[in-house]
Chain A
Amino acid sequence: MRVLHLIAIALLLGAAVAVAQTPDLARRQAEAAAALADRQEEETVLTEGEGRSEVFGYCTACHNTALIRRSAFTRDRWDELMDWMAEKHGMNPLEGEFRQTIVDYLAKHYGPRARSPRGGNPFLN
């Protein structure tokens, strides 16, 4: 019985420690999320081409390049997204030559592709 009591006490202590650690873990996770968000990217993570600097500079003000790199849109859909980001997400509206440079770059380098961005062949790699 004494052994059982000891185990019960140990479990209770363990639970108390786990609860006590929660605020620390919460803070560390928030810091980890902030660190991920702040992680500096190099422009070269995007495909080389005319307009890359403009795209990198303008777009990463709000989000990182994962959103670009995972995308595969036609020029028309990229163009539509420029309006959507301006209307819904507070982006400074893109117009004229600058807009054309950005949309041209995205359409050329992040256009429709035949394959999914997910994973690889589990039996061939």
Chain B
Amino acid sequence: MTRENAPERSVQELYRDDPERADALVFGRRGALKGAALAAMGTALGAGIPFARHMPQGLVPAALAQGAAQPQFLQMEGKAPLIMQGERPLNAETPEHLLDDAVTPADKFFIRNNGSVPDPVADPRAWKIRIDGEVNTPLELSIAELEQRFEVVTRQLQMECGGNGRSGFSPQAAGNQWGNGAISNAEWTGVRLRDVLRAAGLKEGAKFTGQHGADNHLSAQGPAISRGMRIEKALDEDTLICFRMNGAAIPQMHGAPARLIVPGWPGSLSQKWFNRLEVKSEPHTGRGMGGTSYRIPVRPIVPGSRNNGADFVDMESMPVRSVLTSHAHGTRLPAGTRSLDIRGHAWAGDLSVRDVHVSTDFGQSWQAMQVAAPPNRHSWQRWQGSVALPADGYYEVWYRATDSNGRMQPHVAANWNPQGYGANPISRIAILIG
């Protein structure tokens, strides 16, 4: 190693091994990079930092915030190279820049399993779905019968893992360490669950649902997951029993031949390989219900503390979130690039997105992007705009959505909970000009 390289390595290692200490050493007392420290940081990042004076204390540059370990990528026919979260159960995340399509194609649809993937069935049209419990007339209908008997609707619906964004929590929460890529917005075709429930006739005591599917738990003990929701969500016009995705058969990986789609709420409610819905008078008690599962604190708890979740509440509408899809994290552009056209999507559970703002100076100033209306309720929305870059060097593009109630993505993941639900902090990508 040459002498010139020595400070470069030391700053980089400091940030990787102990960012807080590195920050204290590298940043000045007022939280501004200056003098030799600025030079050292710029060298470590491979470029100057044009907005260094605005960089808040305690903030690790996005390019350094990630660890040394390289992600593994899924290799599967019919699937894009998704970020592998685990092989058993099989879970894989879509990198944000692969989410650029308005309608998420099958190959770019994230994979979330709680158990094993069932074998495909020979005759999908004959697949039966049972509706029972607190109904006057239990029903058992094949997909062919559902399609014949009820109005068939097609909607673009966002469906997101309940744990999306989990890697934002500190200390680490248990579960797949998703970035923002456990989100999809496919075009789903099916019948409204509410039409089917009305045909069965809800009894007075019909207050909750319990969903069932055909996948088995990896321990071979019972079903992989069985979650339920309040009956109000089951009666929402966008809660569908689906049998087609993007105009084709639902891919096996995503729940063929039938999947319940409960848009805007944790994806685990959107039962894959869906075959039964119980209507209940009490909350469902299947695997994935109760305790700390898909539940969040009402009274915030100390991050990292022990809690059995007894006084948590079920997570329902997902929080506002955005992705930037036009440029990958780590994009390098030619010297002299002075503006950047950027775009992405934003969504907010049952709500819509009112604003998306972008900052290229570490949050010192924010610029409004154009946000398009959704094609239908529960679809994500396209945002786009242009940002100016005053000089060559290292930039971070920060992007922050605001929902229709005025709630913004926070600066850090809020309301820590043991299994890590609801983390939706402002995201950022690193860009290098020159």
A residues engaging B (CB < 8 A)?
18-19, 22-23, 25-30, 32-34, 36-37, 39, 61-64, 66-67, 70-74, 76-77, 80-81, 84, 87-91, 112-125
Contact = CB atoms under 8 A, between A and B. Distances in A.
A89 B98 CA distance: 33
* A-B interface, 9 closest residue pairs, ranked by CB to CB distance from nearest: A122-B330, A66-B86, A26-B252, A115-B67, A90-B221, A119-B66, A33-B117, A37-B88, A64-B88
A75 B12 CA distance: 29
Nearest to A41: B87
Nearest to A125: B70
B71 A71 contact: no
12 contacts: A29-B77, A29-B117, A29-B251, A30-B119, A30-B120, A36-B87, A36-B90, A64-B86, A90-B219, A114-B18, A115-B65, A118-B66
A89 B94 CA distance: 27
Secondary structure of the B side of the interface?
loop
A42 to B, nearest CB: 14
A89 B217 contact: yes
Contacts of A72: 171-172
Contacts of A91: 219
B242 to A, nearest CB: 16
B260 interface: no
Interface string B192-236: 000000000000000000000000011101100000000000000
Centre residue among A28, A30, A89, A123 by max chain B CB count within 10 A: A123
B253 interface: yes
Contacts of B375: none
A73 B174 CA distance: 8
Contacts of A67: 86
Contacts of A28: 77-78
Given A87-B291, A118-B179, A66 B251 contact: no
B25 interface: no
Contacts of A73: 171-172, 174
Centre residue among A121, A124, A125 by max chain B CB count within 10 A: A121
B329 interface: yes
Given A66-B84, A122-B330, A30 B218 contact: no
A124 B17 contact: no
Given A76-B306, A112-B172, A124-B46, A117 B86 contact: no
Contacts of B67: 113, 115-120
Given A26-B252, A115-B19, A123-B332, A34 B116 contact: yes
B63 interface: yes
B16 interface: yes
A117 B86 CA distance: 13
Contacts of A80: 306, 418
A115 to B, nearest CB: 4
B51 interface: no
Contacts of B34: none
A99 to B, nearest CB: 16
A124 B12 contact: yes
A26 B117 CA distance: 11
A118 B219 contact: no
A62 B76 CA distance: 23
Given A62-B219, A112-B171, A123-B46, A30 B64 contact: no
Contacts of A34: 116-117
Centre residue among A34, A61, A91, A124 by max chain B CB count within 10 A: A124
B304 interface: yes
Interface string B15-31: 01111100000000000
B71 A119 contact: yes
B105 interface: no
A33 B63 CA distance: 33
Nearest to A66: B86
Contacts of A123: 45-47, 63, 330, 332, 394, 430, 432
Contacts of B117: 29-30, 33-34
Given A19-B248, A123-B394, 11 more contacts: A29-B79, A29-B117, A33-B90, A80-B306, A88-B293, A89-B219, A90-B221, A118-B67, A118-B71, A118-B177, A120-B66
A25 B77 CA distance: 8
Contact of A26 (B44, B176, B256): B256
Given A77-B174, A81-B174, A122-B330, A117 B18 contact: no
Nearest to B432: A123
B268 interface: no
Nearest to A61: B219
Given A27-B252, A64-B87, A119 B329 contact: yes
B105 to A, nearest CB: 13
A30 B252 contact: yes
A63 B172 contact: no
